[in-house]
Amino acid sequence: MRKFCSKRWLCILFGLIASLAGFACWQWRIWSPQDFREYQEVCEYPIGRELWFGHIAPGQSMDKIREIAPPHRTHQFGPFTESTYYPGGPQPRGLPFSSLCVIAKEGKLVHAAAGSCTWHRVFFTMNAEDSAEFAQFVQRFCEEMEKGLR
């Protein structure tokens, strides 16, 4: 009679478990404990899962995101639209410690990131040219706000 716990059976079992673990990591795009934590945090947002799994990608229309979930806050900086989401919905008072932000240029997505004090996830980022242009528009906006406060 063969032993059930022979080395061959243990190797087969270990190989099967390793294959299943590898498939699960590939399926959920989680490769480290930090990825797992970020995944849990990102899923708190209305569009978090769509971004995590790549259903929302650069170049897509901002209207598609608005169909999935309207943003909690939106700012216009020249041709750029910055839409922000907060976990649990809009924050009427106080300063939120985490947020998910998508930026569109002329209605097409160019940047998406989420973060908090202890974690940060960039899904896709704008090119250097767009980034410099966006920074100029934001700086101009801040200067106009500052003038209004005087």
90 and 103, same domain (yes or no): yes
Is residue 36 located within the same domain as residue 82?
Answer: yes
Residues 1-50: pLDDT tens digits?
Answer: 455 567 777 777 777 777 776 766 566 667 788 888 888 899 899 899 99
What is the count of structural domains for the chain?
Answer: 2
pTM equals: 0.80
Q: In this structure, are 21 and 47 located in the same domain?
A: no
The per-residue pLDDT for 16 is 77
Average pLDDT over residues 90-109: 89
Claim to verify: residue 15 and residue 44 sit in the same structural domain:
no
* 123 shares a domain with 54: yes
Domain span at 22:
1-30
Kindly state whether residues 64 and 124 are assigned to the same domain.
yes
Spell out a b/e string for 7-23, using b for 16 or more CB atoms within 10 Å of the CB, else e.
Answer: eeeeeeeeeeeeeeeee
